[in-house]
A and B are shown apart, each in its own frame.
Chain A
Amino acid sequence: MSKIVADADGLIKLGKSGVLGCLLSATEVLVPRAVYREAVDAGKKEMHEDAFELEKVLSEGGVEVVEDQQDGRAEKLLEGVTSLGVGERATLHVLFAREADAVLTDDKAFLNLLGRARIRTLVPAAAIVSLFETDRLRRAKAIEALGRIEGLSRHEVYEAAMEGLIRPKEPKEASDR
């Protein structure tokens, strides 16, 4: 099972889409403590409904909240970087310290850094399409999930993901029609 570290941006968007629970059953998701504070604690303090829902999904999904970690490889990558916040930095440290496979994020600045470092990433729209392609999500549910985060995604990304969802699947998908 793949091990994925989430930042607040990716966690909140996938939570909002309503399919985070589905990803949790397909992969092992690690949430750094700093990210949990940003996505759940701070959101609850401002009474964002999504934050309460996120707390519930993370708890039910048995997600591990990882305490602060320090890793020299992350430290080196973050040298001189002022564009990232506490949560994204913690995500990178946990990624290396726990030998995770990828980062769940949809943050452009963070994606830029991860791309330069050749670290694998999972953006929410791609996660939704992949969950659909692997029969973990029905087409209607996947389209609904993508629609829920449309306003937080770039239009071209939304369109590309939608294309992936409406394209006919291989024959084994017959029961989904």
Chain B
Amino acid sequence: MNETKPTKPYPLRIPQNLMELADAKSRAERTDRSTALRQLLYAGAEEYVLELLSEGRISTGRAADILDLSVHRIHELAHRHELKIGGTLDDYHRSTESARELIG
């Protein structure tokens, strides 16, 4: 997450209502339409990535990489969205057995 991610052009037809939303956002936030559209895209991506994370389909590191954020920030977002991340009860029980050998 140290460098800006590369971008690439992609032809996309955007529904009129979303374009109007982007225009409204750009006016309210004094930015241009493309930036507003990218921000909306990121907001959707963030939600989807967090969903994948809570289902265990991607790791925290992968989520951080995709969203170009730190692992600390991913933890904050998950906490804010009240998402259950982390190992399951089975993982905990397996780990408890290992812990007794590793630490004991």
Identify the A interface with B (CB < 8 A): 2, 4, 7-9, 12-13, 23, 26-27, 37-39, 41-43, 45-46, 48, 50-51, 82-88, 101-102, 105-112, 115, 120-123, 125-127, 129-131, 133-134, 136, 151-157, 160-161, 164
- With A2-B103, A12-B75, A83-B59 known as contacts, the answer to whether A123 contacts B87 (CB < 8 A) is yes
- With A83-B59, A115-B94 known as contacts, the answer to whether A157 contacts B89 (CB < 8 A) is yes
Q: A residues within 8 A CB of B73?
A: 46, 48
Selected A-B contacts with CB under 8 Å, 11 pairs: A13-B86, A27-B102, A37-B2, A42-B70, A48-B72, A85-B60, A86-B61, A111-B87, A121-B95, A126-B95, A153-B86
Interchain nearest-CB distance for B77 vs A (Å): 11
Whether the Cβ atoms of A157 and B62 lie closer than 8 Å is no
Whether the Cβ atoms of A152 and B103 lie closer than 8 Å is no
Whether the Cβ atoms of A156 and B62 lie closer than 8 Å is no
Interchain nearest-CB distance for A93 vs B (Å): 14
Whether the Cβ atoms of A108 and B95 lie closer than 8 Å is no
